[in-house]
């Protein structure tokens, strides 16, 4: 019997991403105060999280600073969520 683990890629969490009534539905933010990344510890390392946050905050002329993480908002395949503040350079 062989055990197979499903590994999902990390992605940027967007609240109300699928809510068509949301004013931000299917739109990129004009500015960003923080970035939240859903990930799995089995598939994503710290350097990847830092790079993703730096790239996303950098799109707005900002730098990323780690704020914390939680486990209640992301799906089971990417159960952890890291939050980074996007700060002016």
Please state whether the predicted TM-score (pTM) of the whole model is above 0.75: yes
Which residues are within 8 A (CB) of 80 and not within 5 positions of it... i.e. 6 or more apart? 38, 39, 40, 41, 69, 70, 71, 74
Q: Using one digit for the tens of pLDDT, what is the confidence trace for 8-26?
A: 899 999 888 888 988 888 8
Structural Rg of the chain based on CA atoms: 14
H or E stretch at 51 = helix 46-58
Q: Using one digit for the tens of pLDDT, what is the confidence trace for 24-83?
A: 888 888 899 999 999 999 889 999 999 999 999 999 999 999 999 999 889 888 999 999
């Amino acid at each position: 019997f062989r055990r197979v683990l499903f590994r999902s890629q990390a992605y940027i969490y967007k609240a109300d991403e699928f809510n068509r009534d949301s004013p931000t539905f299917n739109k990129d933010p004009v500015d960003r105060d923080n970035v939240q990344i859903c990930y799995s510890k089995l598939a994503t390392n710290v350097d990847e999280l830092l790079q993703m946050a730096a790239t996303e905050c950098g799109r707005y002329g900002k730098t990323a600073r780690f704020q914390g993480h939680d486990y209640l908002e992301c799906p089971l395949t990417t159960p952890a969520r890291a939050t980074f503040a996007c700060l002016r350079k």
